[in-house]
Amino acid sequence: MSFVFRPPRLALALAFLAVTSVAVAAGDDLDEYDDDHDQARQAVEQGSVLPLAELLARTRDTLGGEVVGIEFEQEGGRYIYEFKVVMPSGELREVYVDAKSGSIIGSGRD
């Protein structure tokens, strides 16, 4: 006599819901980053901000670590890049750069 295990349908349904809800949440985050990219591209094309490559070249020595993440934001009427930087000590810091001038305008721990 052989026994075949069949998980209850409720468990399968719950597992499916868990997986799809995580996928939807991840998709929402990706949409936010897509919007950042589009907004940054438009601002560069309009001459409102410097290209990201130029900002990274200008600030690379000053940042003091490795850039592992970048966000593009508009705050108080100006565009700002938020660089997530891993310092040589392993500390994660956020460095805020004015996207038009390339000036570092602030930093803090993440």
User: Cα(105)–Cα(3) distance, rounded to whole angstroms?
Assistant: 67
Name the more confident of 22 and 106. 106
Q: Which domains does the chain have, with CATH numbers?
A: 9-109 (3.10.450.40)
Amino acid residing at 47: G
For the stretch 41-84, pLDDT in tens is 888 898 889 999 999 998 888 888 999 999 999 988 899 999 99
Q: Is 95 left (phi over 0), alpha (psi -120 to 50) or beta?
A: beta
Q: How confident is the model at residue 34 (pLDDT cuts 50, 70, 90)?
A: low
Are the CB atoms for 35 and 3 separated by under 8 Å? Answer: no
As a whole number of angstroms, the distance between CA 109 and CA 97 comes to: 15
Q: How many CB atoms lie within 10 A of CB 54?
A: 12
Sign of the CA dihedral running 12, 14, 16, 19? negative
Q: What percentage of the chain reaches a pLDDT higher than 90? A: 43
φ/ψ (deg, to 5) at 71: -125, 150
For residue 2, the model assigns a pLDDT of 56
Sign of CA dihedral 53, 61, 84, 88: positive
Q: Please give the model's pTM, rounded to 2 decimal places.
A: 0.65
